[in-house]
Amino acid sequence: MNSKRTRFETEMMPRPDDIDLFRHVHSSKYLDYLIAARFDQMERCYGMSMGEFLLRGLGWVVKVSHLEYKRPIGLGERFKVETWVEEIRGSDVEVRFEMLKSESGKTACLGWCYFTLIGLETGRPVPIPSDVLEKYSI
């Protein structure tokens, strides 16, 4: 873990349709929560919303994801999604995350993703612009 990077958090709560037959959040929803938290944090914390990327003809795609499930999250249970940029390389950003149960502070899920910046016209990776590097290097 790189302690030099700032952690940002977004509080969330599962929707009823996120719950599976075992009465907790289905594993497929955790990546959705991470992406929703990143969209929130891009605008609120980094000062550059996803809409601004789209206006520039750029978009982020998930290249690799790794999730470790530690504890289930149930219906009505608030949790926080903490994320931080671990490393930036070329067109890729490694984002680390931890999802913590709000009441207990215990880890429900943790992991990392590589997001690749692409040009929307080509769908191909593009180098991260210097102004974006500056905003994400906090």
Answer whether residue 1 is part of any domain: no
The H-assigned helical ranges of the chain are 29-44, 50-55, 130-136
- Mean pLDDT over 63-81 rounds to 98
Q: Provide the domain limits for residue 107.
A: 8-136
The verdict on residue 120 lying in a domain is yes
Which two structure tokens, joined as six digits, stand for 27? 């594993």
pLDDT score at 2: 44
What does the alpha-carbon distance between residue 53 and residue 132 come to, in Å, rounded to a whole number?
10
Q: Helix or strand or coil: residue 129?
A: coil
State pLDDT tens for residues 1-43.
444 679 999 999 999 999 999 999 999 999 999 999 999 999 9
% the chain with pLDDT above 90:
93
pLDDT at 138: 84
User: Is position 3 within any domain?
Assistant: no
Q: Give the count of domains, the chain.
A: 1
Would you say residue 2 lies in a domain? Answer: no
pLDDT, residue 4, reads 67
In the predicted model, is pLDDT for residue 64 greater than 50?
yes
Give the chain's mean pLDDT: 95
For position 123, what pLDDT does the model report?
Answer: 98
| pTM, 2 dp | 0.92
DSSP letter assigned to residue 18: G
Judge whether 44 lies within some domain.
Answer: yes
Three-state SS at 50? helix
- What is the C-alpha to C-alpha distance for residues 69 and 7, in angstroms, rounded to an integer? 20
Tell me the CATH number at 16: 3.10.129.10
pLDDT of 136: 87
Query: Which neighbouring-strand residues pair with 88?
Result: 93
Q: Residues 40-57: pLDDT tens digits?
A: 999 999 999 999 999 999
Q: For the stretch 53-79, what's the b/e string if a residue is b when 16 or more beta carbons lie within 10 angstroms of its beta carbon?
A: beeeebbbeeeebeeebeebbeeebeb
